[in-house]
Amino acid sequence: MTTESTTAEITERDGVFTGPWRRPRNASADVRGSIHDDATAKDLGFRGGTVAGSIHMEQFPPVLVRAFGQCWFETGSLSTYFRNATTDGEPVRAFVRTPASGADAAQVDVWMEDEHGTQVLEGTASAGVPAEPSRLRAKLQ
């Protein structure tokens, strides 16, 4: 799990909401034979056991609520794919492009970076029913 965050820690600049730095933990490090286990991950060419994607995803809701408001919980979606793995405790933060104001339905770019600026994941988030497909759906088509 990651540490608690408040919306006060979320900043907005140049049309992008930026979440706080977090140090996600590899809660599955003891699952032997999985990509989260250091030995198995290293055998597969990773630096160590990887943090589960679901742990990274939990960083987005506070930023998405700041971007879209409470309606994100009612009609929102988050569609991402991972580009680089992280290991236990590596600092990362979530980014959400600011949606156009007054739109009934909006879709924006989202991404996560580590402390070196390496992109961990990318995708889209939406509220309502946007006209365009999510980034992941478009990529799969």
Which comes out higher in pLDDT, residue 110 or 132?
Answer: 110
Return the C-alpha torsion angle 21, 52, 3, 83, nearest 10: 10
Of 53, 69, 82, the residue nearest 17 (C-alpha): 69
pLDDT tens track for 92-110: 999 999 998 866 789 999 9
Higher pLDDT, 137 or 8: 137
pLDDT (tens digit, 9 = 90+) per residue, 45-93? 999 999 999 999 999 999 999 999 999 999 999 999 999 999 999 999 9
Q: What is the structure's pLDDT at 7?
A: 60
Contact 107, 120 (CB under 8 A): no
CA distance 40 to 35: 6
Helix (H, G, I), strand (E, B) or coil at 16: strand
Helices and strands of the chain, counted as H and E runs: 5, 6
